[in-house]
Chain A
């Protein structure tokens, strides 16, 4: 696909790198000649210096032949205008990053419609959403979703007191059938095992499970006897992300405390999220943290716009009793460092924006793939095509490669755990777990016969 990217900041250049590696033709425009020079030197993309809001610049970039435009400059208005012009010049798909909440959420302005945008990416909303997900599955080592969020992939370390320790998958079959979950991978001693019925779960395994979103809560007790729910959340920083998250959480957890240094922002927060307790002060002020009862806090999230204060505040919160902490950093280079410092969750809005855009682009394809970080295993979502080998036959009659497993089939709206006599029908979504050596064979099974 020919894709035009506007803006060569962290988001734009990361997108350019990922997408060109995936084989797309990338043209990228930025007004900063230095950035463009660096990109042109390091990536196989066409990099152009210029102001993208000018039609002449867009034309010189060959906008008319582009299938998609992604506008991710720092300025909302530039992103919107560029997309409007591009639409008029014949670009079919337009994606714009828009951070201003007034554009992004109020129903008064239908920006998508007036600017012909296919997708508005609002990083603050995405970050707040992903933090909400993390709060909802405490104790998971990996999280990803498939089939529009209906099916979840979760990784868990199996603790000593887990009731499934010593059980084989066959012994769990009756439960897993009814509750629509399947253990699709077991990482043990550095090797990823694709389990069969006779494999048993052992202490220390890192298991990967595909589970229906609706039955996750019933699955969790099989792994862990107790998960301390999140009842009290403290958020440092009443900027967009903090406010957004506070708004999402007030109905769900018992108490939400927001700490904000700036008086105006604190007042605005109290008005916008009246059910939260808003305290004016610095998140790095130990007396304030103690007064706010940091020791009784299940989750402390440092989400202010100041990277360094966030770091200090979350270290203090952890030291004085917060059970878990999340820290936001705007600088992608900080992420690995913070992760090595035992921060439970490290959030970088720029990287999250990149993955949200990539996910959106790939959704158009048949394949949606999640690679598990430490192993080479992939979880793949495919749509079964009418004339492929996988459809119309009982699964037991299909020669399935070793190292791969059908996890879930979405039949209608219901996720189904496959059995030997299950038949996959055309257009059903199938979620598979596969080791690298099996992926090519899987692709053949799903390929349309010639």
Chain B
């Protein structure tokens, strides 16, 4: 699966408005909902599902990256958003460091393979040298999308 299969230009947020974990998640969920014109489930329900996963274990996986994700009833395909925070968000990440890059993934309940592939896509690219650095330094949304595109080409 490629980034372009679940993160599109419209769901890239150059600078997140919020810096509280739950507010950030809500901001990203609202973006996804408005871009894809989703009416159900309610924003609060989606945020709750994502926060439930965060309570069991933070998806702040270190090096300034967080990947909040959950299965959302009613979805047919994987939907994602990417957001940046210059100041950093306290995600209670495993290395204790603030999070600057957030990948939010909403997953259809019965597409286990696709869901895993989306998580794999994020995890594989953040292990690549400079991927995170370039994302942090990108000037605008166009550059961010370009970085995803290049990454899609590098990983088969």
Q: How far is the CB of A215 from chain B (nearest CB, A)?
A: 6
Determine whether the beta carbon of B113 is less than 8 Å from that of A414.
yes
- Complex contacts, A164 vs chain B, CB 8 Å: 56-57
Give the tally of cross-chain contacts (CB within 8 A): 81
CA distance A212 to B63 in the complex (A): 20
Q: Would you call B88 an interface residue if the criterion is a C-beta within 8 Å of the partner chain's C-beta atoms?
A: no
Question: Which secondary structure dominates chain B's binding surface?
Answer: mixed
Q: CB-nearest residue of chain B relative to A414?
A: B113
Q: How far is the CB of B151 from chain A (nearest CB, A)?
A: 14
Determine whether the beta carbon of A225 is less than 8 Å from that of B119.
no
Count, chain B residues at interface, CB 8 A: 30
CA distance A417 to B115 in the complex (A): 13
Contact status of A175 and B58, CB under 8 A, knowing A212-B120, A215-B123: no
Interface string of A228-248 (1 = CB under 8 A from B): 110000000000000000000
Stretch at the interface among A88-96, A216-224, A384-392: A216-224
> A414 contacts which of B57, B59, B107, B117 (Cβ < 8 Å)?
B117
Determine whether the beta carbon of B119 is less than 8 Å from that of A411.
no
Q: CB-nearest residue of chain A relative to B93?
A: A221
Q: Would you call A251 an interface residue if the criterion is a C-beta within 8 Å of the partner chain's C-beta atoms?
A: yes
Of listed A227, A229, A415, residue having the most chain B CB within 10 A? A229
Q: How far is the CB of B70 from chain A (nearest CB, A)?
A: 8
Interface string of A176-195 (1 = CB under 8 A from B): 01111000000000000000
Determine whether the beta carbon of B94 is less than 8 Å from that of A416.
no
Q: How far is the CB of A274 from chain B (nearest CB, A)?
A: 16
- Complex contacts, B56 vs chain A, CB 8 Å: 163-164, 167, 172, 175, 222
> A221 contacts which of B57, B116, B117, B129 (Cβ < 8 Å)?
B57
CA distance A214 to B107 in the complex (A): 17
CA distance A167 to B93 in the complex (A): 21
Q: Would you call A174 an interface residue if the criterion is a C-beta within 8 Å of the partner chain's C-beta atoms?
A: yes
Q: Would you call B84 an interface residue if the criterion is a C-beta within 8 Å of the partner chain's C-beta atoms?
A: no
CA distance A178 to B114 in the complex (A): 9
Q: Would you call A399 an interface residue if the criterion is a C-beta within 8 Å of the partner chain's C-beta atoms?
A: no
Residue contacts A-B, CB under 8 angstroms, 11 given? A164-B56, A178-B69, A214-B119, A215-B120, A218-B119, A220-B94, A221-B57, A227-B94, A251-B129, A415-B116, A416-B113
User: Which A residues form the contact surface with B (CB < 8 A)?
Assistant: 163-164, 167, 172, 174-175, 177-180, 212, 214-215, 217-229, 251, 411, 414-417
User: Which B residues form the contact surface with A (CB < 8 A)?
Assistant: 53, 55-63, 67, 69-71, 92-96, 107, 112-113, 115-117, 119-120, 123-124, 129
